[in-house]
Amino acid sequence: MINIKHTLKILCIPLLLLIHACQSSLSEGKVDDLSLIGARIEVTQNLTDQKDNGVSIHLFDKDGRTIANRAIKIKVNNIDLDFYQRQELYYTTTTNYITSNMPVAKLYNFEIVLTNGKTYFLGKVTPLAEVNDNDIIYDKTGKFDQDFLISWKNLKEINELYISKGVKLKTSTELEQNYSGDSVITRQIKPYGSYIVPKSKYIDSISIISDLNFKFNALKSGRVNPDLVKDSQITISGTIEKSVDFDEESQEKKGR
C-alpha cells in the first residue's frame, strides 16, 4: 500500500529546493556590502488626490536572483516599509518591501539598512504633478452615429494615452451575451490635446462596440545610489482612467 504522507514528503523536497534555488544566497546571513545589492523601486501615485500612494521594492543580486533577507530594512522618508512574501503558482515566491499608504511629500527619499546596522542612500524621486480630473473632457455615453471626441488640458507630466475598445460579438443571443476586447492603441501625448475615435470603428463583420476605455499614464524616473547593482532603478507612475459606454438599446431601436 502506498504511503501518501511519505510520497508527499518526497515530492515537497525538490519543490522546496526549487523555491530556494530562485533566491539569492544573500537571503540569509550578513549582508554588509551595498554593491552586492540591486533595487527596483516602483512608486505609484494618485494623480488627482495624492492619497493612497504606494511603494513596492524588489531587491536582487548581480545574477538577478531575489534577495529575501528580513534583516535588511528599507525606509522612505524615515518610515519603515513592510517586508512582504507571498507564495505564487508554479512554486514561486514574491518578495517585496511595500506600503500602500505613503504620506505625500515634496521628495521621496529611500534608505536601506543592512545587517550591520549601517544606513545607506538607496534612491530618490520627486512626486508627479497633481492634475484636475475635470480637465479631461468627454461625453459619458457614446453615440453610434457620431465620432467620439475626448480632449484634455493641464495634464502636465502625463505623457501617454492608452485606448482599448470593448465589443459585443454578433454571435450573442438573448440568452448568452458574448463580449471581447479589441483595438488597443497607445499614443504619446502632450499636456494639451484631443483624440477622435471615428464611428467607422464601432461596427464590423463580427462585433459591435460596447465601451471605450482610456488610460492617461504618467511615468518618470528618479536617481538611485550608483553603488547598486546594474539595472537598479526608481520610477514613479500614475494613471487616470475613464470609461464610456455605448447605448446599444438606442442603436437597436434605430435599426428597426
135-169 per-position pLDDT tens digit: 999 999 999 999 999 999 999 999 999 999 999 99
- What's residue 251's pLDDT? 53
- What's residue 15's pLDDT? 39
Q: Has residue 222 got a pLDDT over 80?
A: yes
Look at phi and psi of residue 87 and say left if phi exceeds 0, alpha if psi is from -120 to 50, else beta.
Answer: beta
- pLDDT tens for residues 194-210? 999 999 999 999 999 99
- pLDDT tens for residues 43-80? 999 998 877 789 999 999 999 999 999 999 999 999 99
Confidence class of residue 87 from pLDDT cuts 50, 70 and 90? low
d(CA 195, CA 139): 13
d(CA 83, CA 99): 9
Q: Has residue 215 got a pLDDT over 50?
A: yes
By the 10 Å C-beta count (0-12 exposed, 13-18 middle, 19+ buried), 38 is classed as buried
Confidence class of residue 1 from pLDDT cuts 50, 70 and 90? very low
- What's residue 187's pLDDT? 94
Highest-confidence segment of 31-35, 47-51, 103-107: 31-35
Instruction: Quote the mean pLDDT of the chain.
Output: 86
Q: Is the dihedral of CA 201, 205, 211, 215 positive or negative?
A: negative
DSSP 66: B
- What's residue 17's pLDDT? 38
Answer yes or no: CATH 1.10.10 is held by domain 133-217+239-247. Answer: no
The sheet carrying 136-138 orders its strands as 136-138, 148-152, 193-197
More confident residue, 101 or 48: 48
CB of 152 within 8 A of CB of 48? Answer: no
Confidence class of residue 173 from pLDDT cuts 50, 70 and 90? confident
Entry pTM: 0.82
